[in-house]
Amino acid sequence: MEKHFITDTLDRPLRDLRISVIDRCNFRCSYCMPKEIFGDDYPFMPESELLSFEEILRLAEPFTKLGAEKIRITGGEPLMRKNLAILIEQLSALDGVRDIGLTTNGVYLVKQAKALQEAGLHRVNVSLDAIDEKIFQTMNGRNVKPQAVLNGIDAALAAGLQVKVNMVVKKGVNDGQIRPMAEYCKEKGITLRFIEYMDVGQTNGWNFSEVATKKEMYEKLTHISPLIPVEKAYFGEVASRYRYKDSDVEVGFISSVSDAFCSSCTRARISADGKLYTCLFAESGHDLRGFLRNGASTEELEKYLTSIWISRNDRYSEERTEETVKNRKKIEMSYIGG
């Protein structure tokens, strides 16, 4: 397959494609899909609005021609999409795709991990914001116990999948879980990624006073073991990586608020209804589903995607101010896929 690598206005290449396959979730995490907004009567997308697997494949192919090598399946909770292993198998067969991952809350991995691995999935990022039962139940908004997620992690490991754990940290809510979570992951030999609480969307009530910064989290980990910096594995890697001095286990920090990494962002995101977003904090997207359903050819899709990416100039986290936090109408994390 002939490739046509492209860069945006800030010389950032296209390398990562995130595809949301569903906007529904079985959790109601306060920082993503708060239950006060996303109640039982919330109008989620009907199936007809979701991209079909065939449409997802038709979009993924030109992205790989333009340089995308890594695909991440997201949601909502992606494992709520029926027959997801079929899509994984189809995507893994695309020329140029060298890595397929999935972000999940882990609950359904007990039943699906083996089939996903056999279909070609390489790795899972499992969201787990606390190991304490009461704190985790408060955060997930559905009273789900952490053991349900821990069981999913064990199933993924048993299936041969690479596992990383993502923990969104809110000061005064679960920052007391930083050390217990780190000790659990260190003992299991799993990489833990601490994520600063971000102002994604309009509904999570974000306030900077609730942000536990990378520096604050780092200092709590030094009580477990000194941390040694690890060099970035590739351009566009968002996590600052470290390993414990007394082991090979890594820990990382995703610091979009206190230490922005916009200058190396290589990610494009497709929502479940087929809109392309060039930033996690975007206000609007580009309608790829309509373009597809109006009969666009693969060549036309490639040209359209090229025109969008080469015009890209997003760097919201570097430009974040009190005014932009208050006035920018950002798309919801549950819709864009994180």
pLDDT at 148: 98
| pLDDT tens digits, one per residue of 205-230 | 778 788 899 999 999 998 899 999 99
* 9, 310 Cβ separation under 8 angstroms: yes
* Residue 269, pLDDT above cutoff 80: yes
In this structure, is residue 149 part of a structural domain? Answer: yes
* Residue 273, pLDDT above cutoff 90: yes
In this structure, is residue 3 part of a structural domain? Answer: no
Of 6, 52, 60, residue with least CA distance to 301 = 60
* Max Cα-Cα span within the chain: 59
Alpha helices in the chain (DSSP H): 53-65, 84-92, 109-119, 133-140, 146-158, 178-188, 214-221, 288-293, 298-309, 316-319, 322-327, 333-336
d(Cα 8, Cα 28) in Å, to the nearest integer? 35
In this structure, is residue 11 part of a structural domain? Answer: no
What domain count does the chain have?
A: 1
Confidence of residue 169 (pLDDT cuts 50, 70, 90): very high
Peptide bond into 338 cis (omega under 30): no
| pLDDT tens digits, one per residue of 56-80 | 999 999 999 999 999 999 999 999 9
CATH number of the domain where residue 55 is located: 3.20.20.70
- At 164, which helix (H) or strand (E)? strand 162-169
pLDDT at 204: 67
Find the domain containing 70 and state its range: 16-336
In this structure, is residue 7 part of a structural domain? Answer: no
In this structure, is residue 9 part of a structural domain? Answer: no
| pLDDT tens digits, one per residue of 283-321 | 899 999 999 999 999 999 999 999 999 999 999 887 887
Considering only 86-95, 108-117, 200-209, 282-291, which range has the smallest mean pLDDT? 200-209
In this structure, is residue 26 part of a structural domain? Answer: yes
In this structure, is residue 138 part of a structural domain? Answer: yes
* 239, 253 Cβ separation under 8 angstroms: yes
